[in-house]
C-alpha cells in the first residue's frame, strides 16, 4: 500500500539565508516516520510571513527571534492574536534569558540559536506528533 499523505508545509522565517538553511538541514525532509514529509516555505520578510499564514495551509511556523527589522517573537505574538486557530509556532532565541519573551509571544516552543539540530527536531516533533492522526 502506497502512502499518499500530503507533505506538511513548514514556514521558516529569517532575514538570514544561512539561518533558514540551518533549520531546513536540521529537520530534513522527514524527521520522523510518524510524520509526513516536510515541504518548506522560506520567507525573509514579515509581510510575506503574514501573507503565507493568512493564506492557510501552514502546519508549523519557525520564526527567527533575532531577525531584523521584524523579530520572530513579535511576529509570533501578532499571528497568535490575529489568526483564528493559528498554527503552532517555534521561535529561535539568541539567549536563554529570552525564553520569557518566547512565552509572551505565545509560541509553543523556543529553541536556542545557533541551531541545535537535535533540540530543534525534538521541539518540532513534540508539537507535530500529537496532531498527526493515528493510522
Q: What CATH number corresponds to the domain at position 42?
A: 3.40.50.2300
pLDDT digits (tens, 9 = 90+) for 1-33: 345 689 999 999 999 999 999 999 999 999 999
pLDDT digits (tens, 9 = 90+) for 38-74: 999 999 999 999 999 999 999 999 999 999 999 999 9
Establish if 86 belongs to a structural domain: yes
pLDDT digits (tens, 9 = 90+) for 64-77: 999 999 999 999 99
Total domains, the chain: 1
Establish if 98 belongs to a structural domain: yes
What is the percent of the chain where pLDDT is above 70?
A: 93
Res 4: pLDDT:
61
What does pTM read for this prediction?
0.92
Establish if 50 belongs to a structural domain: yes
pLDDT digits (tens, 9 = 90+) for 81-90: 999 999 999 9
CA 33, chain centre distance (Å): 19
Establish if 31 belongs to a structural domain: yes
46: containing domain = 8-129
Establish if 111 belongs to a structural domain: yes
Amino acid at each position: 500500500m502506497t502512502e499518499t499523505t500530503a507533505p506538511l508545509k513548514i514556514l521558516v522565517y529569517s532575514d538570514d539565508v544561512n539561518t533558514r538553511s540551518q533549520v531546513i538541514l536540521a529537520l530534513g525532509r522527514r524527521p520522523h516516520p510518524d510524520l509526513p514529509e516536510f515541504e518548506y516555505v522560506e520567507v525573509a520578510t514579515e509581510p510575506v510571513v503574514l501573507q503565507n499564514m493568512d493564506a492557510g495551509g501552514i502546519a508549523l511556523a519557525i520564526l527567527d527571534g533575532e531577525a531584523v527589522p521584524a523579530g520572530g517573537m513579535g511576529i509570533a505574538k501578532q499571528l497568535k492574536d490575529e489568526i483564528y486557530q493559528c498554527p503552532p509556532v517555534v521561535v529561535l532565541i539568541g539567549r536563554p534569558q529570552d525564553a520569557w519573551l518566547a512565552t509572551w509571544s505565545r509560541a509553543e516552543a523556543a529553541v536556542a540559536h545557533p541551531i541545535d539540530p537535535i533540540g530543534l527536531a525534538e521541539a518540532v516533533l513534540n508539537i507535530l506528533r500529537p496532531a498527526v492522526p493515528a493510522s
